[in-house]
Chains A and B, each alone.
Chain A
Amino acid sequence: MKDKGMMKTIKGIAAPLPLANIDTDVIMPKRFLITITREGLADGTFADLRFDAAGQKRPGFILNKTPWTQATILVVGDNFGCGSSREHAVWGMRQLPIDACIGTGFAGIFYDNARKNGLALPIVSPEVRDSLLQFSNNPSGAEISINLERRMITAGEISAPFEMDDATRTALIRGRDDTLDSLDYTSVIRHFEAGLNERMRVSVIK
């Protein structure tokens, strides 16, 4: 077992981010990508939405307003995380810290990157998403609760199921390391490789 600890429920203030097609260039502008580490990306996250060209906070942006400065959950528009494969987008969101994004659907690479970094992405119907947008838009600072085991979201009067595939849910709850886990299958991988003929074994000229 390589468990880092169990996470079953995520609770926090949620911020509404209703724009559709928020891409990873917007989540993490490229000027923050010239780095060889995972750290130091919190300031880059949503940088052009949060800050103006002079580096001043944009007062109108939701994450700059009370109580959403404390938000750890986002309720987002359709197709969040589209575009580039940059995992920096997820690293930065985790460093803010954001623990979950609730939406109607996410781009595939972003979804997989999120799982690897403990960012939960519950998928709900457009109707539930819209009611959660409305709930989180209320400045009372009421929290949303995401129960991973029961796959249920509760927010005030709202109680709704969400979709999350089993493997992703297990990964989030166990906080496991996929690379180390997969090495448990070393002999199975070797067996598969033994079945490949020479012309199926790529060897790149140096």
Chain B
Amino acid sequence: MTRTLYDKLVDNHKVCDLPDGDMLIYVDFHIMNEYTSPQAFSGLASKGLKVWRPEAHLSVVDHVNATRSVEAPDAQSKLLIDNLEKNCTKHQIAFYGLGDPRQGIEHVIVPEQGLVVPGMLIACGDSHTTTYGAFGALGFGIGTSEVEHVLATQTLRYKRMKTMRVTIEGTTAPGVTAKDIIMKVVQVVGAGGANGFAVEFAGSAIVGLDMAGRMTVCNMAVELGARAALIAADEITEAALKGYPHSGQFAFRGESWVSDPRAIFDEEFTISGADIEPLITWGTSPDQSVPITSNVPSALDYVSPKAKAALERALQYMGLSEGQSAQSIKIDTAFIGSCTNSRIEDLREAAKILEGRQVAEGVEAIVVPGSAMTRLKAESEGLRAIFETAGFQWRPEAGCSMCLAMNDDIAMDGERVASSTNRNFEGRQGRGARTHLMSPAMVAAAAVCGHLADIRDFK
């Protein structure tokens, strides 16, 4: 029997079948944040339950905290932060709070601590938990009731998903990043195109990515509906496991964490790497993107009345005209951060664009490194100086920040943001705020030009 990597991971974690068709799967490692866990802990309390295995959980503050200082932005946010700490103390769970040198965005700090290895199963009350697929680990997001379930049983009720393979063949052109690859996949497969699927990314353009790039790809796989994303573990993965606090502590051997050569997938997509250009989103769904050299669509590009109506609504919200050129879109704000693109590699790419250049007048530019460790590394490499000299605000505290604007980094009504984040939904970065998704280097380029711009024009 040949099996996909996904099936191997599920088989290895299956505790038992349940009579109604679900199974129980074992969760090796579970991560919590301050906003999707409070009601799980109160659920435990009201049912009189204990945490099954406290040492298998990590809690971190990242969603609501301020990035300007360690002070909570307001009393209600402080309540969430304090509540998480209190719950972790009570249940003997590791807690990386504000001011802790290990604090940062959950999906940035887990690899930095050496807490993900191939073959592991990781759950977290956050949809971007798909990130860990970059390591050949099975990671997926869960709701708060499921957080309670993991805390109480170390398992989840689970239904095996269908499998999809997305192959990116050949090589990508200079200036095309991992962000552009995954934005292209979202554009081709569609925002709900992988609902019910676990997606494996393959092909030379994927294998050629470093771990930061692979994490960006798997992170945003949830934007096509994938509940899990995977990339086969290889020597690049192995090399990335060394040098962290938990390195060498965990190993899930007994399998090679790759799909068997003749494994069958329920669906296959193939995209030519050479066809991918730097992309920007123009609409309010992550699949509404065009190359930076192209134009915003017009009604003529669509046949169905439904599609025409969706275009009209998106353009109205975004304040754009049909057929407008992508590079004519002027921005108010540039934001580099989030679990998709705030790692040291992302900051280096953006700094290359910014070195010796200035942020355009009238543009507010903000960079929030993904973790305290990332910030220190960037500072030691001289990146902070490059960002600040160019006119970026270098925020000292790590967090999700303006990706979902749960803290005080909120875009105003009508404000237009070039953003290295993952979702351009209506109201995501603030009520009435307009988000354009792109790679961090493209955000830097937009900050310098004052409008969306092509990094390939920067020599």
Contact = CB atoms under 8 A, between A and B. Distances in A.
Contact of B192 (A79, A116, A183, A188): A79
Given A34-B406, A48-B426, A79-B192, A107 B225 contact: yes
B43 interface: yes
B170 to A, nearest CB: 30
B238 to A, nearest CB: 15
B141 A202 contact: no
B291 interface: no
Contacts of B188: none
Contact of A199 (B39, B159, B195, B250): B250
A157 interface: no
Interface string B29-69: 10000011011001100010100100111100000100000
B203 interface: no
B115 A202 contact: yes
A36 B38 contact: yes
B249 A199 contact: yes
A182 B141 contact: no
Nearest to B252: A200
Interface stretch (A18-26, A58-66, A94-102): A18-26
Given A53-B431, A90-B143, A107-B195, A30 B404 contact: yes
B285 A21 contact: yes
Contacts of A29: 427, 431
Given A182-B149, A185-B24, A34 B154 contact: no
A167 B20 contact: yes
B143 A112 contact: yes
Contacts of A165: 21, 159
B83 A85 contact: no
A85 B142 contact: yes
Interface string A182-200: 1101101100110000011
Q: How large is the interface on B (under 10, 10 to 19, 20 to 34, 35 or more residues)?
A: 35 or more
Contacts of B80: 34-36
Contacts of A106: 195
A83 interface: yes
Contact of B155 (A180, A189, A202): A189
B145 A189 contact: no
Given A90-B143, A165-B21, A203-B55, A183 B83 contact: no
B223 to A, nearest CB: 8
A202 B55 contact: yes
A87 interface: yes
A201 B115 CA distance: 11
A168 to B, nearest CB: 9
A78 to B, nearest CB: 6
Contacts of B413: 53
A109 B143 contact: yes
B191 interface: yes
Nearest to B246: A205
Contacts of B426: 25-26, 48
A179 interface: yes
Given A26-B426, A87-B145, A185 B125 contact: no
A112 B158 CA distance: 10
Contact of B406 (A26, A30, A167, A206): A30
Contact of B127 (A85, A186, A199, A201): A85
Given A19-B310, A21-B285, A87-B145, A34 B15 contact: no
A142 to B, nearest CB: 24
B64 A34 contact: yes
B153 A182 contact: yes
A1 interface: no
B313 interface: yes
Contact of A189 (B24, B94, B310): B24
A179 B26 contact: no
Contacts of B285: 20-21
Given A87-B145, A108-B227, A200-B252, A25 B423 contact: yes
Contacts of A30: 404-406
B47 A204 contact: no
A10 interface: no
Nearest to B125: A85
A199 B431 contact: no
A127 interface: no
B36 A36 contact: no
Contacts of A56: none
B425 A26 contact: yes
B263 interface: no
Contacts of B192: 20-21, 78-79, 82, 105, 107
B428 interface: yes
Interface string A158-189: 00000001110011000001111011011011
Nearest to A199: B251
B152 interface: yes
A109 B227 contact: yes
25 contacts: A25-B427, A30-B404, A30-B406, A35-B38, A35-B76, A36-B42, A36-B79, A37-B38, A37-B42, A53-B413, A79-B225, A83-B127, A85-B142, A105-B192, A106-B195, A108-B225, A109-B143, A116-B146, A182-B149, A182-B153, A185-B15, A185-B16, A185-B24, A203-B249, A204-B58
In the complex, the 5 A-B pairs of residues with the closest C-beta atoms, listed nearest first: A79-B192, A36-B38, A113-B143, A116-B145, A87-B143
Interface of B: 15-16, 18, 20-22, 24, 26, 28-29, 35-36, 38-39, 42-43, 47, 49, 52, 55-58, 64, 76-77, 79-80, 83, 94-95, 113, 115, 120, 125-127, 141-146, 148-149, 152-155, 157, 159, 161, 191-192, 195-196, 223, 225, 227, 245-246, 249-252, 285, 306, 310, 313, 404-406, 413, 423, 425-428, 431-432
Given A116-B145, A183-B49, 5 more contacts: A26-B427, A29-B431, A37-B39, A179-B49, A179-B152
